[in-house]
Amino acid sequence: MKLENLNIRLNFECKNWFKKQCNNLFSDYYLYYREAKEGQTGTLGIFQNAPDPTYKLALNNRMNKGYTRDQAFTSLMPTINKLPIID
């Protein structure tokens, strides 16, 4: 993933997470990432479970159910800047 696309992707993921979380308050969601490797683009996503074995948990804590979309975005920015997902 390109550095300039990182904020766009996180904003997209936070919007989707907020919709899903509001529809089911009892679901737990986590931030996952796929490491950038030669021939494979790094990415991130907010899921209940890893979509496939190439994704790793970025944080041990689940997403805060009380956060707004903007609060989630702001709280995750320091974490995603440290992840090995930049091409």
Q: What is the pLDDT of residue 1?
A: 76
Tokens of 17: 């997470």
Residue 47 lies in a domain: yes
Residue 75 lies in a domain: yes
Residue 87 lies in a domain: no
For 40-65, how does the pLDDT look when each residue is reduced to its tens digit (9 = 90+)? 889 999 999 999 999 999 999 999 99
Give the residue numbers spanning the domain of 47.
3-80
Residue 59 lies in a domain: yes
Residue 33 lies in a domain: yes
Classify residue 70 by burial, with Cβ atoms within 10 Å: 0-12, 13-18, 19+: exposed
Residue 68 lies in a domain: yes
Residue 41 lies in a domain: yes
- Give the side-chain half-sphere CA count within 13 A for 38: 0
Q: How many domains does the chain have?
A: 1
Q: Which residues contact 33 (CB under 8 A, 6 or more apart)?
A: 42, 43, 44, 45, 55, 56, 58, 80, 83, 84, 85
Residue 76 lies in a domain: yes
